Chains A and B, each alone.
Chain A
Amino acid sequence: MSSRKKPSRIEPFRHKVETDPRFFEKAWRKLDDAIREIYNHNASGLSFEELYRTAYNLVLHKHGPKLYDKLTENMEDHLQEMRVSIEAAQGGLFLVELQRKWDDHNKALQMIRDILMYMDRVFIPTNKKTPVFDLGLDLWRDTIVRSPKIHGRLLDTLLDLIHRERTGEVINRSLMRSTTKMLMDLGSSVYQDDFERPFLEVSASFYSGESQKFIECCSCGEYLKKAQQRLDEEAERVSQYMDAKTDEKITAVVVKEMLANHMQRLILMENSGLVNMLVEDKYEDLTMMYSLFQRVPDGHSTIKSVMNSHVKETGKDMVMDPERLKDPVDFVQRLLNEKDKYDSIVTTSFSNDKSFQNALNSSFEHFINLNNRCPEFISLYVDDKLRKGMKEANEEDVETVLDKVMMLFRYLQEKDLFEKYYKQHLAKRLLSGKAASDDSERSMLVKLKTECGYQFTSKLEGMFNDLKTSHDTTQRFYAGTPDLGDAPTISVQILTTGSWPTQPCNTCNLPPEILGVSEMFRGFYLGTHNGRRLTWQTNMGTADIKAVFGNGSKHELNVSTYQMCVLMLFNSADCLSYRDIEQTTAIPSADLKRCLQSLALVKGKNVLRKEPMSRDISDDDNFYVNDKFTSKLFKVKIGTVATQKESEPEKMETRQRVEEDRKPQIEAAIVRIMKSRRVLDHNSIVTEVTKQLQPRFMPNPVVIKKRVESLIEREFLERDKTDRKLYRYLA
């Protein structure tokens, strides 16, 4: 509570008034001298407090504007002195001197700003003047950098140094860095206008020249390498002594001059362009091309289209070459190899780019469907792989091959044609016991089912089931029928008619030994299964016959059913004429002729002898058992002379059947569509039908039109009375 009297009382506050008329002059002189000392590197002797107070008092007494103007004038004078000294510098010292003076100015400017802090804070915002530091920078810019003698010289020096570095010389990078930094500190517009823009222009013409020079003498791969080099170089240059924002601008310039302007020429270059790279699997060059042209507008699309046309062309040649068509398995293998080749190119060089993969797929689809035998050939290829005795004994290898084949399968537009052939080939495999691995067969079915749906494979699965059931049935037959005596052992395969490819059943008189046991089987089967009908398919069976020849050699012959019938006749006769055989066996003549050819005219398998020894079989030819028959093997297989590949008429027939099958499918699709849409115009019907049936085949618009008309006749649809193009669904 003690009220302590302060030792010194406070002076009353007085509003400051300055009456000295020379107040400003005196104060300014102090500051002027101080600034001079500062520029002469003598700042350490000055008192900040005093100078700050001086400036503070000036502003307090409303001398702000005068002070500001005096300051501007003063700095300009100092800068003029500096300018003279910079201009006088010779050659390489020009940049050095510029740098030195810039450092000096910067340091001085900071001190000046500190001294005049009060003016900066109080006077400048209210009067919208440039702050002291910025003022100093602007003055430097206008007095030095943009002075007539220095401006051009500075730019020329910088550009000259860069040019020298581009041609291989080593330059002083730190000096470059500090100079460009100075320009950046003066403002990004200074940097851009006084350096960057001219730099980009000069670079453009430099690279334009470079690219012209290189493209005349370099191969595509070499040129691309050089372009990449230059790009890397420029990026490094920017990071070393330019503003980071220049990086993308100079990259754009190089890309434009070296790549975009010459794109067509590079890609299409003879003997080293894209096509050559693809053919020779030049992965490195392709990778470079891909990554470089990524930056060029339309770069990738150009590459894609050139690649596409190349693939389509080579594919077309491959597919239409008549030589190749002679060996279906080889044909398909080549297609697979081609697919492998391009897949690895896309993976290795095009970094698995989806759009490239899609482009390839459409090219493959295009040329594979140019040859309408591809479905058949692909099925034959699979057939070959799944048969017994193939080289890839490994299960996994087979799986990989089948997966690759499925890729080709996807490209087919006529999948229903493939289905037909596959069924035929599968039937042959199963019935002749040639299917190598049940697992591989089923695996293929699963793949087809995944791709095309249940309907595609249901019948095929039925075939497998039939065989299994048949095996069981045969076993039960033998278990249940006690007395069979000497009857030959039969193995019966019961085929459900719908599942297996339909074959016309021909007549054939079986030898009595066979007939007996087969009829017993028929009785057994029909006893257990009500309402079914069995028909023997004599054109498909096989038989093992023990034969003893006149020369003593004993062999077991594996023959077809027809051949068996023929051979058994010779048990009761030595010589038989063609006519005899034909009559007794009732085998159709074309088949019979083929059968006899294989028995008598094939070297190494001629168990019969024909007289006369001509190549053709005529009605009067006589046949004898060949008592001189020899073979190294005990078991001799006598196949029928038949080609795997279809003959022309057979081919026509299959195609016709496929076309016939398509008609109801098209009609079903039309009805489905019209039922839900009620009213639709012709073009829309065509589009919708195509869309629905595409997974199986490409319907022909003409055929669609015919089907529509047929449906109109059968009163499923009607034409609209007013608009001929419109169709209406009739419930």
Chain B
Amino acid sequence: MDGSTSRVFSQAFPAWGHLRFMRRRELEEMGFVRDDRLTIECVVNVVLDPVVTAGDAPELDHPPSNILGHLAGLLGDKGTADVTLVVRGEEFAAHRAVLAMRSPVFKAALYGPMKESTDANAGRVAIDGVEPAVFRALLHFIYTDTTAAMDDLDDDDDTAQMIMHLLEAADRYDVERLKLICELMLCKSIAVDTVAATLAMADQHHCQKLKEACIEFLATSKKMEGVMESQGYKKMKLSCPSFMVDLWEIIGRKMTSYSVILNIYARDKD
């Protein structure tokens, strides 16, 4: 009996055996059968495919990114600035490339063939229709990608106004992320007395999310009367009546009870 031969089972040789069986008598005579049992011991080694595991790389401390810090450092750096933006008398030093990078409108202005791109006028560009504080906040966002400048304002009302102005500026200069951030902030602070004005602004400046949020607010709130009392609402009626029609249509679809519309319509006639 083979006790020590080892065999290899592989695809080429899937089976091993002997040609002839042993006689039972021999088996019994040799004493291998005990208690009516025959024990066969085999040692099986299984060879698996090698398993590759990713080892832990030694601790390499990648220093965290610091480009934003450097970029922020450029804000207001007169030494490297190559353009001066004049906003209602207040001057802001800035860098053409950075402005162009963040706003296509600035890019067209500062790198186009018109006056702003030449050095005529000593690199000064007049900006009209924006308040300096707002412009400062816009510049701050351009250089730092954050709206931290507004934390300076200690008045909630001021903050709300600032956000609206900033949204307008962002829309004008096509700084998309800033516009969306302002939108979201306004969405969170819709109130009965401001919803009308907010809605008008959202429509004028094409802020889809804000518009929907306002409409949602109007449709579900039970304070329609309060809204209609507000100044903002009255002003809107005067300035863009066509918008009012659209608005009521949209609200109408959302309202569940017809009687409420009638109610409001009746009141409106006054």
Contacts and interface: CB of A to CB of B under 8 A. Distances in A.
Contact of B108 (A4, A48, A60, A126): A48
B201 A114 contact: no
A59 to B, nearest CB: 10
Nearest to A5: B154
B209 to A, nearest CB: 15
B116 A9 contact: no
B109 interface: yes
A48 B133 contact: no
Interface stretch (B59-67, B72-80, B160-168): B160-168
A11 B161 contact: yes
Secondary structure at the B interface, as helix, strand, loop or mixed, is helix
B200 A15 contact: yes
A111 interface: yes
Contact of B116 (A49, A111, A121): A49
A46 interface: yes
Contact of B114 (A11, A44, A107): A44
B109 A44 contact: no
Nearest to A118: B172
A49 B106 CA distance: 9
A223 interface: no
Interface in A1-44: 3-4, 6, 8-13, 15-17, 43-44
Contacts of B165: 10-11, 13
Contacts of A62: 240
B247 interface: no
Interface string A89-116: 0000000000000000001000100110
Contact of A121 (B117, B174, B235): B174
B5 interface: no
Given A46-B114, A114-B112, A3 B154 contact: yes
A12 B154 contact: no
Interface residues of B, number: 43
Give the size category of A's interface with B: 35 or more
Interface stretch (B13-21, B29-37, B124-132, B220-228): B124-132
A53 interface: yes
A695 to B, nearest CB: 32
Given A4-B152, A117-B108, A118-B172, A49 B204 contact: no
A444 to B, nearest CB: 37
Interface in A656-674: none
A49 B235 contact: no
Given A15-B236, A114-B112, A6 B153 contact: yes
A599 B239 CA distance: 141
A8 B174 CA distance: 26
Contacts of B254: none
Contacts of A47: 114-116, 126
| Highest count of chain B CB atoms <10 Å: which of A49, A50, A52 | A49
A56 interface: yes
20 contacts: A4-B152, A4-B154, A10-B131, A10-B133, A10-B161, A11-B131, A11-B161, A15-B200, A15-B236, A17-B239, A47-B114, A47-B116, A49-B126, A49-B127, A51-B114, A52-B109, A62-B240, A111-B112, A117-B174, A118-B174
Interface of A: 3-4, 6, 8-13, 15-17, 43-53, 56, 60, 62, 107, 111, 114-115, 117-118, 121-122, 126
